[in-house]
Structure 1
Amino acid sequence: MDNEPMWAADRVVAPTPGSAITIPKTTNEFAIKGNHLTLVKGNQFDGRIKTDPHKHIHEFLEICNMFKYKDTENEVVRLMMFPLSLTGEEKTWLDELNEGIIKTWDEL
């Protein structure tokens, strides 16, 4: 049964929600650098008891501060990258928040 496609099984599939984080508009287009993505994904937070959320945020900000994107506020980059720094239950937590509820880094 696990190998059957979703539509063949008798299951309810919830619609994919929009993001809880609203990314501010930027005046220019830019792409996140591959090595920046690698560093963030290598420092993912899963919310387990023995992990420290404060340390995760500190390390995430250190990684983000290593990279500058021309004419783009650091806050925009942080908001774009943060979901990639979560995994497991923490990613589920973020995904289940109401759409568009977070508009600034301070709110996050």
Structure 2
Amino acid sequence: MDDEPMWAADRVVALTLCSAITMPETANEFSIKGNNLTLVKGNQFDGRIKSDPHKHIHKFLGICDMFKYIDTKNEVVRLMMFSLSLTREAKTWLDELNEGIIETWDELQTTFISRFFPPALFD
């Protein structure tokens, strides 16, 4: 059995989730600092009816703008960290989007606002 290819074996293989966000290539070895992760995770958006996506974006940008990463654009930091700022329904929504459909911060912001603050809400 150990010599069999994985597809021939009688076992369950977990799916690998791919990200809807295409991460831009960075010029350096880039990693996010732990205290920055804590700040972002402390401001999570859950997607519930009374949650305000505009307020979430505003707070998220304020947090990200405090970070200074040499040779890394703010957009890269935002794209890398945004999924960590989501939980529950909002996180599920992002995880279920097609792989690689979001390439810029503007696309991510527009898609997020369209989903959680649709114009039809006021029609």
Ranges in structure 1 where 5+ consecutive residues have no aligned partner: 1-11
Ranges in structure 2 where 5+ consecutive residues have no aligned partner: 1-11, 109-123
Whose radius of gyration is greater, 1 or 2? 2
What is residue 16 of structure 1 aligned with on the other side? 16
Structure 1 position 15, deviation (Å):
1.8
1:44 to 1:13, Cα distance in 2 relative to 1, 3 A: farther
What is residue 75 of structure 2 aligned with on the other side? 75
Please give the TM-score of this superposition, normalised by the length of structure 1.
0.85
Amino acid aligned to 2:43? N
What is residue 62 of structure 2 aligned with on the other side? 62
SS in 1 for 2:105: coil
Q: May I ask how many residue pairs the two structures share in their alignment?
A: 97
**Structure 1 stretches (4+) deviating beyond 6 angstroms?**
none
For residues 67 and 103 of structure 1, the distance between their equivalents in structure 2, rounded to whole angstroms, comes to 21
Structure 1 position 14, deviation (Å):
6.5
What is residue 96 of structure 2 aligned with on the other side? 96
Aligned-residue Cα RMSD (Å) equals 1.4
**Greater helix content:** 2
Amino acid aligned to 2:19? S
Identity of aligned residues (%): 81
